[in-house]
A = this chain, B = another copy of it.
Amino acid sequence: MYKLYEFFASGNCYKLRLLLTQLNIPFQRIEVNILKGESRTPEFLLKNPNGRTPVLEIETGKFLAESNAILFYLSEGTDFLPTDSFEKAQVLQWLFFEQYSHEPYIATSRFWITTGKAEENREALNQKRAGGVAALKVMEQHLTEHQFFVGDRYTIADIALFAYTHVADEGGFDLSKFPAIQAWIKRVQAQPKHISITQQV
């Protein structure tokens, strides 16, 4: 059985709980408390030398890191990843957009605010506002014309972007200005076997 090493509150980790659940794949979750440095212990660094969660243990000693790489691995050959090579590349385009232009702004802001680190990071938090809003604008524009991110159906591109977008308010981002994003959030939440970010699995 897959083992998922994760920090429960992390959106990056939630992506995998959500996909594994929607794929009906059983897994064992192992909490790694990054607030207590548990992702930087010598033991954990053997699983991921980059010291980050999530990590998927596929079989004993066979580890895969980076949430979006794991999404791709789990979804290949399923309805969650297109087979057409251009559509697959478009999925990857959005996955890289998420990690480069979205997560460092919205997820990091949420992390500081929800873990009581807002004050000590006040200036950096302010600097992250523009980047987060810019990412949401790119999403809003796309979703004004499309139901989902790629091929007008639910894929791992939606899962990756949903994880931190639907809790963007916890990072201080007001989604009421983004009606197309709000409608898409409802469409994602209406997918079969959807679980919330706080749901125990």
Most-contacted residue by chain B among A58, A67, A72 (CB, 10 A): A72
A80 to chain B, nearest CB (A): 14
CB–CB B100/A86 < 8 A: no
Number of interface residues of A (CB under 8 A): 33
Count of chain copies = 2
| A33 beta carbon closer than 8 Å to chain B | no
CB–CB A49/B142 < 8 A: yes
Known: A69-B93, A92-B69, A99-B100. A64 touches B86 (CB 8 A): yes
Most-contacted residue by chain B among A68, A73, A96, A101 (CB, 10 A): A96
A58 to B90, CA, bound (A): 12
| A28 beta carbon closer than 8 Å to chain B | no
Name A86's contact: one of B68, B73, B99, B141 (CB within 8 Å): B73
